A and B are shown apart, each in its own frame.
Chain A
Amino acid sequence: MKKQTVDSRPAGPKPWYDPRIRSIFFQFIAIALVFWGGWTLVDNTLSNMESRGISTGFGFLDETAGFGIIMSLVPYDATMTYGRTFLVGLMNTLLVSAMGIVAATILGFIIGVARLSSNWLVAKLALVYIEVIRNIPLLLQIFFWYFAVLGSLPSPRQSVEVADSFFLNNRGLYLPEPMPQEGFGLVWGAVIAAIVVVIGLRAWAKKRQLATGQIFPTFKVGVAILVILPTVGYLAAGAPLEWEFPALKGFNFGGGITIIPELAALWIALSLYTASFIAEIVRSGILSVSKGQTEAAKALGIPNSLTLRLVVIPQAMRVIIPPLTSQYLNLTKNSSLATAIGYPDLVAVFMGTTLNQTGQAVEVVAITMAVYLTISLAISLFMNIYNRAAAIKER
């Protein structure tokens, strides 16, 4: 007699009908394609570069750049290296992005709340702003601010001036620069002391509210302390501050702080454009909080401003944060449009001039992409941490 093995499981399907085997098979094919594609790219590039005699590697970063940059936050001149141009470009990108994020956030929140105002005129003005600004291409807006608005300012000799110290012309806005003299350390000390005092005051006010219920006007008193203490320190040190005023030298101004029109145009355009998107995000966030929440707060006798702060905003934030993050990322990446008007950001300085002069395309592009990726991931990480803190516990 033949011994029969009893298998309790149902007979398996043929291998090519088994979903597990299929999924492994297709994943294997996908990985193979990716590797093949990557290898082809690298191999092709290397052999092409070799045949044209292009050197590879990051040695070019130590070579002398030999070109000037109209604006830099770190000391720079044409005798410095390409590595330095990278740093200058990066700083300029970060500067305009940070300024843009701050301005767009403030403006966006104000317009978003205004859009929901019960005042007809305010709500309609906000609506018109949003619809006009977000439906015009950003590049066009940058050109508008740069050529149409700032470009039509008078020449340096006919500058608009205020009190012989502020000058506005088509080369930029010139401001007096504060030059701290000896003894200014006392003012910095006073500023730090004021911050410490305000932090202490906040803690004390909170403790007192928990204990006695009295609410201390922390904000007003805090602002007063922040203004008064440094002023006292400044006067006590004998006003150790001198101003360097800009002055017309030849065809242009020298001295003082200069805000170049390229920065101003880019900053204004980026801020206004992104603010229109943020306003819609804020509006949808506030609308996502049900009307019952404000009614419940009203019924408890909580005044409107407190309702917004204690009930509506905390709930709206969880809806606002994720799309707000992508607007921040967009703004940072859109800042690369700087190239179009010649603001020396990372793309203009490094991927433009440096790349043209050195011909090291692969390295320069790789570095630039890595930088944008890093900035974006850093913003995402920060916003995700905040989002997690603001999330509502449901179960």
Chain B
Amino acid sequence: KDYDHFDDEDLALSIPKNAIGVPKEFRQQVLKEMKLRNRPNDILKNRCYCNYDQSICGNNMTCVKQDGAACYHAVEEVYNKAEKRMETLHKWGCATLERGSGASHLTCNSWRAAHHSPKSIGCCYEGNYCNKNLIPPAYVHHHKEKALQEKTDNPEDYDSPLENMTRGGKMFIMVFATVMSVFAVIGCIYLCITRAEEKSKARARAKTVSLKTESTYMESKSMLEDSGSGSGQAALIQRTVRQDLTIIKTIGQGRYGEVRKALYRGSYVAVKTFYTTDEDSWKNERDVYQTNMINHENILQFVAADIWSEEDSMTKMLLITDYHELGSLSDYLCREETLTTDEALRLIHSCICGIEHLHAAVHGTGSFRKPEIAHRDIKSKNIIVKRPNVCCIADLGLALRYQNDKILPEKFNVQVGTKRYMAPELISNKLNPKDFSQFKMADIYSMALVMWEVAIRVEVNTCEEVLTVDETSPDHSASSGIGESVSSSGNISRMHLQKTNVEGHSTSLKAKQHVPPFDGIVHNDPNFDEMNDVICVRRIRPPPDLAWKNVPALNELSKLMEDSWHSIPHFRHSALKLKKEMAELIKNPDRQNQSQRKVEFQQQDSGLVESATNQS
């Protein structure tokens, strides 16, 4: 049997039931009938009033609809910008015959749907210009807010047609409700009249309410589709790193924000928060941490960055890193326990390994390369103790990267960091910001001060001569022997010392209390002038301990320090040189003469050195 497919899409839905499966010869006949039926039949019954332009309505304001289609009268509220008021726009015309329905239901029912501006349409099917005097249904579901808005914008437009229409609509509902209640009153005539009235009113109200909620739902749904605003249907919100953090406690406070301990996916992390005013610092630190191949045992491990808003509605930028229980090197040195020479050497060595890795450029395959990085804020507070003997470098907010002969970030301030640790060329503003190596040299200066901080905490108990000196003048040792200026932190450290004197006479006397460099010489938060006077003019450096002379390794360390905090940047050691020297010192702490130095320097990182020294 030869079944044919209907090619004419327009007819696909309007096939009469008996046409299905009709053989080919009948099909021609069916098509003919269809065409005949679809052609507008220009009889009075199909004529509608029409106010479109001539191409549609012809000369006599008339259009001819198809059999079964409708004539319509549409109204719409539009804003007349010239006259600044709302106007009603009227349109008359012929609706199309819709596929499958045999009428114009879709067009004629469109007034029921939500519209952005008030719109309505009324239909009649009998032709004969029936639409000319047709009144469309009242507006429904338009934006009330918008209407209100326009109302407040144009207070003189209070009696705009729109207002009338909505008022008319309300009136209709009210009349309806009263009629309903009257019926109810008649029905319940035996009952108490007031109660019955109230009840029926409530029922009527409930009905309108449910209608209303439905309409708002429709509205919100349509808004959702066009991505409008409003509380619509549930859209899943992406979780970010922040939602996986459980804050435990605050562990540090700074001008930039806070550092908190938190639990993240089962492990402890440190969360550093920035105010959005310090976005540059956050962004730079994040970018440095995310530099290729920056991963290193002696650089604080970065976990993630995120932006979120705290409960007090402050936007905070987060940096999440590994958490280390022992805290900063500064805290570590403040403990009661003193260090052995070996511990001190290893702490310093691991710091230098971190700095050396930052300073060095590393090339991998393809575009993977690690730029040279200068830290610019090295101090004992910015070094974290991972575990006994091992440190890592943290706080890269001020770091500069040197990539393809360019310094990143492009805009940066030169004189930044902690003034107490600033190199003399930075304090006196003589550093050439175009020469990246100068920033690295400045780092070495700061590192030398940190080396001193560590070294003075070494317990030296081999020399009795020094011991007696210490015991006779404990105050002197606290203020590092230089200057007697009364700064608040100096006082505090001295009080601390006296306290430890009383408590543990035998243990802590041999090592000095932890103090920051230049303690007692400069104020707590020194200014540039003060620092300039001390380190550039008077060229004061932290004093080496007399006892170090008796310990070969500390004596060597002291020499390295002195070289590294030299006033002339070029005279300072490079990080690589320091690293190798420190490795050698750890391996062979008792060497006395320079000739023994020619030992292989193959160990490249602290881990290797540790294992090597453990074997020996």
Instruction: State whether these chains interact.
Output: no
On B, residues with C-beta under 8 Å from A are none
